[in-house]
Amino acid sequence: MNPVRENQIWYTYLLRSKRTKCWYTGCTDDLRKRFKQHNDGLVASTKGRGPFNIIYYEACLNKNDAFARERYLKSGMGKRYLKNRLKRFLSLTG
């Protein structure tokens, strides 16, 4: 058993395209690796939309909780939550 991987962290994240300003919400257990994949055009759902910035992320200790949070953030209520949570950042960056 690897003690470093004993407490696996799962991330729900929000990317914003530097070019189009569109958002993408996703989930992963390796945020740095996944972010690089998005920027390298290796993710089908975001290919050709980059480069990206990570503008928000949350950490969960449970994979199912992280994916449930992703589904919520993609919903109408979740999008409203994110816009309210990030309103100061969004007002500064346009």
List the CATH number of the domain containing 69.
3.40.1440.10
Beta carbons within 8 Å of 31's beta carbon, 6+ residues apart: 11, 13, 54, 57
Cβ atoms 73, 79 nearer than 8 A: yes
pTM of structure:
0.88
Element (H, E) at 3: none
In tens, the pLDDT along 11-69 reads 999 999 999 999 999 999 999 999 999 999 999 999 999 899 999 999 999 999 999 99
> What is the number of domains present in the chain?
1
* pLDDT > 70? residue 85: yes
Q: Is 57 exposed, middle or buried (0-12, 13-18, 19+ CB in 10 A)?
A: middle
Residue 90: inside a domain = no
Residue 93: inside a domain = no
Element (H, E) at 62: none
